[in-house]
Chains A and B, each alone.
Chain A
Amino acid sequence: MGRYVLRRVLQMVPVFIGSTFLIFFMVYALGDPVAALFGDKAPDPATAARIREDLYLDEPLWSQYVHYMGQVFSGDFGTAFNGQPVTELMAGAFPVTLRLTVVAVVFEMALGVTLGVLSGLRRGRGLDTSVLLLTLVVVSIPTFVSGTVLQYLFGVEWGLARPSVSPEAPFAQLLLPGVVLGLVSLAYTTRLTRTSVVENARADYVRTAVAKGLPRHRIVTRHLLRNSLIPVVTFLGTDIGALMGGAIVTERIFNIHGVGYQLYQGILRQNSPTVVGFVTILVIVFLVANLLVDLLYAVLDPRIRYA
Chain B
Amino acid sequence: MTTIEKTTSATSRVEESDDGTPLLEVRDLHVEFHTREGLAKAVNGVNYSVRAGETLAVLGESGSGKSVTAQAIMGILDMPPGKIPQGQILYRGEDMLTMSNEERRKIRGRKIAMIFQDALSALNPVLSVGYQLGEMFRVHQGLSKKEAKAKAIELMDRVRIPAAKERVGDYPHQFSGGMRQRIMIAMALALEPDLIIADEPTTALDVTVQAQVMDLLAELQREYNMGLILITHDLGVVADVADKIAVMYAGRIVETAPVHELYKRPAHPYARGLLESIPRLDRKGQELYAIKGLPPNLLKVPSGCAFNPRCPKAEDICSTEIPVLHQVTEQDGTELPGRGSACHFWKETLHG
Contact = CB atoms under 8 A, between A and B. Distances in A.
A204 B126 contact: no
Contact of B127 (A210, A213, A222): A222
A204 B132 CA distance: 14
Interface residues of B, number: 29
A45 interface: no
B127 A212 contact: no
A91 to B, nearest CB: 41
A303 interface: yes
Given A212-B135, A212-B187, A213-B108, A207 B76 contact: yes
Interface string B91-125: 00000000000000111111001101010011111
A210 B114 CA distance: 10
A302 B76 contact: no
Interface residues of A, number: 22
B114 A211 contact: yes
A85 B114 CA distance: 69
B48 interface: no
B57 interface: no
B114 A205 contact: no
A207 B171 contact: no
Given A213-B139, A214-B139, A303-B171, A207 B108 contact: no
A208 interface: yes
B125 A204 contact: no
B171 to A, nearest CB: 4
Interface string A148-190: 0000000000000000000000000000000000000000000
A65 to B, nearest CB: 45
B108 A211 contact: yes
A303 to B, nearest CB: 5
A301 interface: yes
Given A213-B140, A215-B139, A205 B105 contact: no
A245 B339 CA distance: 76
B83 interface: no
A112 B332 CA distance: 74
Contacts of B347: none
A300 interface: yes
Interface string A199-225: 000111101111111110010001100
A302 to B, nearest CB: 4
A204 B116 contact: yes
Nearest to B120: A204
A213 B99 CA distance: 14
A211 B121 contact: no
Contacts of B78: 202
Contact of B106 (A210, A213, A300): A213
Contact of A213 (B107, B118, B124): B107
Contacts of B187: 208, 212
Given A205-B125, A208-B123, A301-B126, A213 B110 contact: yes
B136 A300 contact: no
Instruction: Tell me the interface secondary structure of chain A in the complex.
Output: helix
Contact of A212 (B109, B118, B126): B109
A213 B125 contact: no
A223 B124 contact: yes
A205 B123 contact: yes
A258 to B, nearest CB: 37
A300 B126 contact: yes
Interface string B302-332: 0000000000000000000000000000000
A204 B118 contact: yes
A50 interface: no
B122 A207 contact: yes
Nearest to B131: A222
B74 interface: yes
Contacts of B114: 211
Given A213-B139, A218-B139, A303-B171, A227 B125 contact: yes
A226 interface: yes
Contacts of A210: 75-76, 108
Interface in B115-171: 116, 118, 121-128, 135-136, 139-140, 171
A211 B118 contact: no
A212 B136 contact: yes
A303 B127 contact: no
Nearest to A205: B124
A305 to B, nearest CB: 10
Contacts of A227: 124-126
Contacts of B121: 203-205
A223 B127 contact: yes
B27 interface: no
Interface string B277-292: 0000000000000000
Contacts of A208: 116, 122-124, 187
B173 interface: yes
Contacts of B128: 302
B313 to A, nearest CB: 40
Contact of B109 (A211, A226, A303): A211
Given A223-B127, A302-B125, A215 B105 contact: yes
B162 to A, nearest CB: 21
A217 to B, nearest CB: 11
A209 B128 CA distance: 14
Given A204-B121, A205-B123, A213-B139, 5 more contacts: A211-B113, A226-B126, A227-B124, A227-B126, A303-B125
13 contacts: A204-B121, A207-B76, A208-B123, A209-B124, A210-B76, A212-B135, A214-B139, A215-B139, A218-B139, A227-B125, A301-B125, A302-B126, A302-B171
